């Protein structure tokens, strides 16, 4: 049987930001009645491609065609009018309005200049029933859990074409393309099944669904086809049934198991006494499943896994940036209640976030002000660090970390990415932590700065500091770590001492399969 024509075809898509290409000649096809996964690591170009398609970003090159006819979409409203609807991870509906009002907002039935409320509720109830749900459409949307709210958002996105609700065609006829951006990230297994049932129903009605998710099992459970991007370029389009999970991981991170070389011996051995930090059954609903973890003085514990695997969620729990739902944390053998970051800082734990611009730096402050920030917070704002001591400490760490320019009064926002990262490291080292948690500390910085930070990690561990090191680069994790933990689908699925058996290829297999044998 001949393959049907695509409902959407993007050809040679180019998008640049300040002279840097975020998308380079990307092709993408979407067929009617299919669920199509868009995959790639952080920075691969997934969000940019979606924003180009939906008119958030203007197109710099290439063409977009719907049903074989070229179109130019310049705004999200124009995308909706063309039959392209998007439901984002964060539900963008009105919590205080009823389910019915949310479903039909903007297209309420009117008569005599007034909304016909009875008819609005009837139409909404028919849509809800048609899509296989049992909801009270008169109840406030906010009274339902997030999973139900997402289903309501999808019904709203595709329901305008339903004839039972005054539409003009089959269910979903108004929406030809439905984009679901990480819709399962905060859902439990039963809620995911409800969502998948609705997605399959829409697929049966001929709707083309673009599905973005970092959960590989979900991709293989519900998707028909996949497109993989890496570094803004197309890696390939494959039928899901034709590509195994190990091969998919290779495509996403750009490594072939046969090409990966074992790395040299890691540095000195950690302390074998009582762990500095021990987590037992620590968890957060929607964030990460219960996990056990230990990290000792002088140990680098490396955490590997794809984007969205739970690495950052684990780190935030250890620092008190997120509150756990269950489990316990012990620091130096004593149970610790980490309700907020100050609790962790007071116990010698420091955390360098992967989002240095939004959760770390204050770009309008000087290098000196940024470096002294955590130490001053730990002392309390009523006990300012004496000026002479402050200036001496700042100068010491500017020199030790080779921050350039070596000017404490320079605005931090004017520094390069690598030097900004060094400023953040200096901030935390100034507090003399016993455990340093580093989340993607070398992402987006040049090779020279990356090597300096890696050398610093080795030096700190040899001086007795415990380090949790998170990186998407497997070689980096293996090069620096004494112990390697592997995460997948927000679960810590493996933890083992680094050694000859823990190769990058073996870690890839665990990431792909979720099994540690």
Please report the DSSP string for 426-456 in residue order. Answer: HHHHTT--SEEEEESTTTTS-HHHHHHHHHH
- In the chain the first and final C-alpha atoms are separated, in Å, by 43
* Residue of higher predicted confidence among 126 and 185: 126
H-type helices in 232-301, by residue range? 245-253
| Cis status, amide bond into 417, omega within 30 of 0 | no
**Which class in CATH covers the domain with range 1-83+176-254?**
alpha beta
Residue 173 has which token pair? 């006829």
The region of weakest confidence among 161-165, 198-202, 474-478 is: 161-165
pTM, full prediction = 0.63
| Separation between Cα atoms, residue 143 and residue 96, nearest integer Å | 9
| Separation between Cα atoms, residue 508 and residue 216, nearest integer Å | 13
Q: Has residue 271 got a pLDDT over 70? A: no
Contacts with 245 (C-beta within 8 Å, 6 or more apart), sequence order: 216, 220, 512, 513
Q: Would you state the pLDDT for residue 148?
A: 85
Q: Would you state the pLDDT for residue 259?
A: 41
Q: Has residue 247 got a pLDDT over 60? A: yes
Q: Would you state the pLDDT for residue 467?
A: 95
Query: Which segments of 332-444 are extended strands (E)?
Result: 334-336, 349-352, 435-439
pLDDT band at 17 (very low <50, low <70, confident <90, very high): confident
Q: Would you state the pLDDT for residue 260?
A: 38
Q: Would you state the pLDDT for residue 376?
A: 83
How many residues can be counted in the chain?
517
329-340 mean pLDDT: 93
CA torsion sign, 286 to 289 to 290 to 291?
A: negative
CA torsion sign, 404 to 407 to 408 to 414?
A: negative
pLDDT band at 52 (very low <50, low <70, confident <90, very high): very high
For a pLDDT cut of 90, what percent of the chain falls above it?
A: 45
* Residue of higher predicted confidence among 81 and 303: 303
Q: Would you state the pLDDT for residue 145?
A: 81
H-type helices in 131-188, by residue range? 146-158
Phi then psi for residue 198, to 5 deg, are: -70, -40
- Position of tokens 């180019």? 14
Q: Where are the domains of the chain?
A: 1-83+176-254, 91-172, 256-348+434-446+453-517, 356-432
Q: Has residue 208 got a pLDDT over 90? A: yes
373-387 mean pLDDT: 83
Residue 36 has which token pair? 């199509």
Query: What are the tens digits of pLDDT across the range 317-331?
Result: 999 999 999 999 999
Q: Would you state the pLDDT for residue 194?
A: 84
- Are 1-83+176-254 and 256-348+434-446+453-517 in the same CATH fold? yes
* Residue of higher predicted confidence among 236 and 171: 236
The region of weakest confidence among 72-81, 287-296, 500-509 is: 500-509
The region of weakest confidence among 86-100, 120-134, 192-206, 489-503 is: 86-100
* Residue of higher predicted confidence among 186 and 437: 437
pLDDT, the chain, mean: 85
Query: What are the tens digits of pLDDT across the range 140-181?
Result: 998 888 778 888 888 888 875 444 444 433 433 478 999 998
For a pLDDT cut of 70, what percent of the chain falls above it?
A: 90
Please report the DSSP string for 449-516 in residue order. Answer: HHHHHHHHHHHHHHTT-EEEEE-S-HHHHHHH-SEEEEEETTEEEEEEE-STT--HHHHHHHHHH---
The region of weakest confidence among 232-246, 265-279, 374-388 is: 265-279
Q: Has residue 63 got a pLDDT over 80? A: yes
The region of weakest confidence among 246-260, 346-360, 491-505 is: 246-260
- Position of tokens 């709210």? 149
pLDDT band at 272 (very low <50, low <70, confident <90, very high): low
| Separation between Cα atoms, residue 457 and residue 484, nearest integer Å | 15
* Residue of higher predicted confidence among 57 and 308: 57
The region of weakest confidence among 331-335, 453-457, 472-476 is: 472-476
**Which class in CATH covers the domain with range 256-348+434-446+453-517?**
alpha beta
Number of H helices, E strands in the chain: 17, 22
Q: Would you state the pLDDT for residue 1?
A: 55
53-80 mean pLDDT: 93
Q: Has residue 422 got a pLDDT over 50? A: yes
């Amino acid at each position: 049987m001949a393959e049907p024509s695509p409902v959407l075809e993007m050809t040679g898509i180019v998008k640049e930001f300040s002279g840097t290409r975020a998308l380079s000649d990307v092709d993408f096809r979407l067929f009617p009645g299919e669920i199509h996964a868009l995959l790639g690591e952080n920075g691969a170009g997934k969000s940019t491609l979606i924003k180009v398609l939906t008119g958030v970003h203007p197109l710099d090159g290439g063409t977009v065609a719907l049903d074989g006819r070229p179109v130019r979409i310049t705004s999200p409203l124009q995308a909706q009018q063309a039959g392209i609807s998007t439901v984002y991870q964060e539900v963008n509906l009105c919590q205080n309005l009823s389910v019915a009002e949310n479903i039909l907002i903007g297209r309420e039935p009117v008569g005599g200049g007034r909304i016909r409320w009875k008819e609005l509720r009837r139409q909404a109830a028919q849509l809800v029933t048609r899509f296989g749900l049992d909801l009270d459409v008169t109840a406030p949307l906010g009274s339902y859990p997030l999973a139900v709210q997402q289903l309501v958002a999808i019904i709203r996105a595709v329901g305008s074409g339903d004839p039972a609700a005054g539409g003009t065609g089959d269910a979903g006829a108004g929406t030809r393309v439905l984009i679901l951006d990480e819709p399962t990230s905060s859902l439990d297994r039963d809620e995911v099944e409800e969502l998948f049932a609705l997605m399959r129903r829409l697929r049966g009605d001929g709707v083309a669904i673009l599905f973005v998710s970092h959960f590989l099992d979900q991709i293989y459970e519900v998707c028909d086809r996949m497109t993989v991007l890496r570094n803004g370029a197309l890696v390939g389009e494959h039928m899901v049934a034709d590509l195994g999970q190990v091969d998919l991981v290779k495509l996403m991170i750009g490594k072939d198991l046969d090409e990966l070389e074992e790395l040299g011996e890691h540095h000195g051995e950690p302390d074998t006494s009582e762990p500095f930090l021990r987590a037992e059954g620590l968890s957060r609903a929607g964030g990460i499943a219960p996990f056990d973890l230990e990290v000792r003085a002088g140990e680098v514990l490396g955490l590997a896994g794809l984007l969205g695997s739970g690495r950052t969620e684990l780190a935030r729990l250890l620092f008190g940036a997120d509150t756990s739902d269950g489990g316990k944390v012990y620091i130096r053998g004593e149970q610790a209640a980490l309700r907020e970051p100050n609790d962790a800082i007071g116990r010698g734990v420091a955390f360098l976030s992967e989002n240095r611009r939004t959760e770390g730096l204050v770009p309008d402050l000087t290098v000196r002000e940024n470096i002294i920030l955590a130490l001053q917070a730990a002392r309390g704002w009523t006990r300012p660090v004496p000026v002479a001591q402050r200036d001496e400490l700042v100068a010491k760490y500017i020199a030790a970390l080779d921050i350039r320019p070596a000017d404490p009064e320079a605005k931090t926002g004017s520094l390069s990415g690598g030097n900004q990262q060094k400023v953040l490291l200096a901030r935390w080292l100034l507090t003399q932590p016993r455990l340093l948690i580093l989340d993607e500390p070398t992402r987006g910085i040049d090779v020279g700065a990356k090597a300096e930070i890696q050398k610093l990690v080795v030096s700190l561990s040899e001086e007795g500091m415990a380090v949790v090191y998170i990186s998407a680069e497997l070689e980096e994790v293996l090069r620096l770590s004494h112990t390697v933990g592997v995460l997948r689908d927000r679960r810590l699925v493996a933890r083992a001492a680094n050694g000859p058996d823990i190769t990058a290829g073996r870690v890839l297999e665990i990431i792909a399969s979720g099994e540690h044998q």
